[in-house]
Amino acid sequence: MFKKLLVANRGEIAVRIIRAAQELGIKTVAVYEETDKTSLHIMKADEAVCIGSGPRKDYLNIERMIQAALASGAEAIHPGYGFLAENPSFPMRCIEAGLVFVGPPPQVISDMGSKVIARRIMTDAGIPVVPGTDVLPNNETGERSALEFAQEYGFPVMIKAVAGGGGRGIRTARDPSELVKGLKTARSEAQMAFGNDRIYLEKGLLNPRHVEVQVLADHHGNVVHLGTRNCSIQRRHQKMIEIAPALLPQLMLDKICGMAVRAARASRYVNAGTVEFLLDENDRFYFLEVNTRIQVEHTVTEMITGIDIVREQIRIAAGEPLSISQKDVTFRGTAIELRITAEDPKNNFMAAPGVIQIYRTTGGHGVRLDGAVYQGYEIPRYYDSMLVKLTVYGFTWREAVDRLDRALNGFTIAGVKTTIPFYRQIVKDPDFVEQRFDTSYIETHPQLLSYQDDVPDMEKLAALIAEINAHGYNPYAEP
């Protein structure tokens, strides 16, 4: 096992990785930019290295990460999610520097990062994929091919970036003129976001459900799945609420999980990954993509299985076999995760950075918090607006929903706008309670935005601030 691990990330996922490593007896090294020097992950690690002035550019600098690892004596690097996590050049550079990358091999990341190559691999493995094109050339031939595809399969069609991921690089075209215009726009957006302007088309599925499967694979040929998650509630293709297991009949769950294991083997996967599928209105499922990293929503899977996915990631990277076989994986109850962010839902979910004046969290049986903020923390405008992930567990779906409702009402966050009032609307919505939702849920439920903003009692707020000024706050306290 490693003696020291560098975490090439920030925020809540860095804190999560640090905790798992420390439980394994591994010393941890945090990295940070000057613009992020008050971040909680720095305080949780055993040591920290400043990698530059920032903002963001140094978290994306492979050489800075390698230098920090070598200088600190770290033997391995965990990329978390985002930033460099799905850049195949990063694990390749780690290998060259004699460091272990906690994640899949570079070739797997490269293959799965190309949506066209990934679709080809899955098709060869007998896994159903949404009808689509190869890469469209950037000329009149490409435009003509796109229009012919749309004529064959009908509108809408999805214009997708080959290098896209995480819900980005996707546009919908509903008619020929929108398609022709969208091709140019999508290329430009893909170039800016991913440094790669290649695009392709897929048949648009109307209001599908988004279901994914967590897989683990080691260097010894062992592959297991940890069940499903329903990630259908999204905004602009970005997940907001995640549920485990997915809300589907058991026979369908078993079939999807079997396909996910087949996909992992076909791609020669190693470490933790997620195989994602879309389900149409007739319950037909299609391969969407493989996320070659730890997912934000891994917490719900951990809650219903009791398996520490990050711990398994580290063990696999150290060359150890999986600590579990498929027969050891059991599922119990339901877990729901919400991503609580400093955003204003009424203003198109625009980020709302600022100083957290009051931070009082919820708790109790079946409640898990994964956060990276604290009272007095100033949320930088340069990074993700995530404050804390709230995950609840219930023996039944209804128990989980009731617990979620209670937990949301237990938060007091003052100083910034958050998505908490919006989530309070969702947990009371009859369609959510009755499990009637797909990827169109947010846009087809505009009434969810009719909530009253949280307005703190100014006398109580003043008293709390006076208490902080008198006694200080502890930035090392658990968020």
pLDDT digits (tens, 9 = 90+) for 202-261: 999 989 999 999 999 999 999 999 999 999 999 988 899 999 999 999 999 999 999 999
Contact 297, 242 (CB under 8 A): yes
Average pLDDT for residues 433-450, to the nearest whole number?
A: 96
- Which among 377, 393, 236, 221 is positioned nearest to 305, based on CA atoms? 393
Rounded Cα gap, residues 407 and 417, in angstroms: 18
**pLDDT recorded at residue 229:** 98
Question: Given 10, 198, 293, 339, which residue is catalytic?
Answer: 293
Residue 190 has pLDDT above 50, yes or no: yes
Contact 29, 53 (CB under 8 A): no
Angle at which helix 250-266 crosses helix 115-124, to 10 degrees, equals: 110
Contact 163, 169 (CB under 8 A): yes
Residue 473 has pLDDT above 60, yes or no: no
Q: Which residues of the chain does CATH 3.30.470.20 include?
A: 209-450
**pLDDT recorded at residue 465:** 65
Rounded Cα gap, residues 195 and 88, in angstroms: 14
**pLDDT recorded at residue 163:** 84
Handedness of CA 350, 354, 358, 363 (dihedral sign): positive
> pLDDT by residue (tens digit) across 18-52?
999 999 999 999 999 999 999 999 999 999 999 99
Question: Looking at domain 209-450, what is its CATH homologous superfamily?
Answer: ATP-grasp fold, B domain (3.30.470.20)
Contact 263, 355 (CB under 8 A): no
Q: Which residues of the chain does CATH 3.30.1490.20 include?
A: 131-203
Q: Where are the beta strands (DSSP E) in 93-205?
A: 100-101, 157-165, 168-173, 199-203
CB < 8 Å & 24+ apart, contacts of 135-142: 135/162, 135/198, 135/199, 135/200, 136/183, 136/198, 136/199, 136/200, 136/201, 138/187, 138/197, 142/183
Q: Which residues of the chain does CATH 3.40.50.20 include?
A: 4-102
- Residue-averaged pLDDT of the chain: 94
Phi, psi of 444, deg, nearest 5: -95, 5
Confidence of residue 377 (pLDDT cuts 50, 70, 90): very high
Please tell us whether the domain made up of 131-203 is placed in CATH 3.30.70.20. Answer: no
- Cross-strand partners of 331: none
Residue 477 has pLDDT above 50, yes or no: no
Confidence of residue 475 (pLDDT cuts 50, 70, 90): very low
- Catalytic status, residue 293: yes
Q: Give the CATH number of domain 4-102; options: 3.40.50.20, 3.20.20.190, 3.90.1150.10, 3.30.420.40.
A: 3.40.50.20
Phi, psi of 458, deg, nearest 5: -65, -35
Rounded Cα gap, residues 354 and 351, in angstroms: 10
> pLDDT by residue (tens digit) across 252-307?
999 999 999 999 999 999 999 999 999 998 899 999 999 999 999 999 999 999 99
